[in-house]
Amino acid sequence: MGILAELLLLALGWLAEILLQLLFEVLAEMGWRVVRAPFARERELPPWVVVPGYAVFGAAAGGLSLLVFPLAYLHGDVARIANLVVAPLVAGVVMSAVGAWRRRRGQALLRLDSFAYGALFALAFALVRWRFADLG
């Protein structure tokens, strides 16, 4: 029974970390739309300018998440390192789906509505939580 309980706690920890990242990513996407609207330009900035911005934005969101949720949901080293791969991949897939949904509705897309930028944001978020979250 002890192993089953530990596996359940591990699964719930991963789910909590992924949901936390997705929550902050969706909030960031919504906020980015509001902030971007007055500054919309005809020509988009090149990726070499935008990529560091999304990484910093993701890291900042990770830092803000620590103010609200300071404890790490995953405690084992292997699980925490695996989360650095799993959570960004899941977030990238979810943001890609959000982008496809917006495209079908004829809505303007942000770069965050793609797999690569969604995963980048989530990776920066996860790295901050991996380094600074309280292991309790």
Q: Which residues contact 22 (CB under 8 A, 6 or more apart)?
A: 90, 91, 94
Report pLDDT digits (tens) over 49-94.
Answer: 788 888 988 999 999 999 999 998 888 889 999 999 999 999 999 9
Q: Say what the pLDDT of residue 86 is.
A: 92
Distance CA 24, CA 89 (A): 15
Domain count for the chain: 1
What pLDDT, on a 0 to 100 scale, did the predictor assign at position 23?
82
Structure tokens at 50: 């935008």
- Helices assigned H by DSSP within the chain: 2-36, 47-68, 77-104, 115-132
Of 133, 12, 13, the C-alpha closest to 66 is 133
Q: Indicate whether this model's pTM tops 0.75.
A: yes
Residue type, 37: A
Predicted confidence (pLDDT) per residue in 108-136, tens digit: 888 889 999 999 999 999 999 999 999 87
d(CA 36, CA 133): 31
Identify the domain containing residue 123 by its residue range.
2-132
CA angle 70, 128, 27 (to 5 degrees): 75
End-to-end CA, the chain: 24
116, 128, 135, 10: which is closest to 54 by C-alpha? Answer: 116
Q: Which two tokens stand for residue 27?
A: 């909030």
